Structure 1
């Protein structure tokens, strides 16, 4: 099933959410790894990850109780959304 345009709009409205999806496209990563890859603030990346998790676009790949080195990955829906964003030329 293709992601809805409101989901795409949600992602592209934030450079942080776009950055998170672009890094996670290459595989699981921690908040710090995402922030370092894109030269962004870890706190902003963390907030973006939380919002993307709420929309089921990313998922935690370690137990919820783990507080350090939490790794995130794209869900199937997140992968489809990222592909649609790229095909539409919205991942600037």
Structure 2
């Protein structure tokens, strides 16, 4: 699910999962999208959402995200953790579990 500024706060309030901040042409972001597909296969209940940093810069500011790719772990209606960079599925699941 791609989020815009109107949907971002509602998604945070009503979902438990990961939001990826990305750019369409970023090669590292493409790798992380593949990683998230693998994470979803292993954790089918996790919700996934995406924010295009070029189309939604106001969400970047609102979430305190400066670089892409950045993952935000969302639990209990709040962003509980952020990590920037490329990670494998195991590292991504560990990040979400600890958040």
Fold match (TM-score > 0.5):
no
- Looking at secondary structure, tell me which structure has more strand per residue: 2
Give the TM-score category using the shorter length: 0.3 to 0.5
Higher relative contact order (CA 8 A, sep 6+): 2
- Looking at secondary structure, tell me which structure has more helix per residue: 1
